[in-house]
Amino acid sequence: MDKPTTTALHSDLPLANARELIGEGSTAHILLDGQVYTLRITKAGKLILTK
C-alpha cells in the first residue's frame, strides 16, 4: 500500500498543488481582490509569495 504524501491535513480546508498551479515553469501570478501576487518555487523547492 502507498504511503500518504502528507500526514496531517485538515480535511475541511482546500488543497492546491503548487506545481499544478505553476505548470511547466517556476512562477505563477495569483489574483486576490484586484491585487496580483507572484508565487515562485525556488531551486531548493521552497515557495515564495510576493506582492
pLDDT by residue, tens only, the chain of 51 residues: 454 555 566 778 999 999 999 999 999 999 999 999 999 999 999 999 999
The confidence score (pLDDT) of residue 6 equals 54
Beta strands across the sheet bearing 27-32: 27-32, 35-41, 47-50
pTM value? 0.72
The answer as to whether 11 is a domain residue is: no
The answer as to whether 8 is a domain residue is: no
Domain count for the chain, please give it.
1
The answer as to whether 2 is a domain residue is: no
CA–CA distance, 47 with 42 (Å, rounded to integer): 6
The answer as to whether 1 is a domain residue is: no
Query: How many C-beta neighbours within 10 Å does residue 6 have?
Result: 6
Host domain of residue 39: 19-50
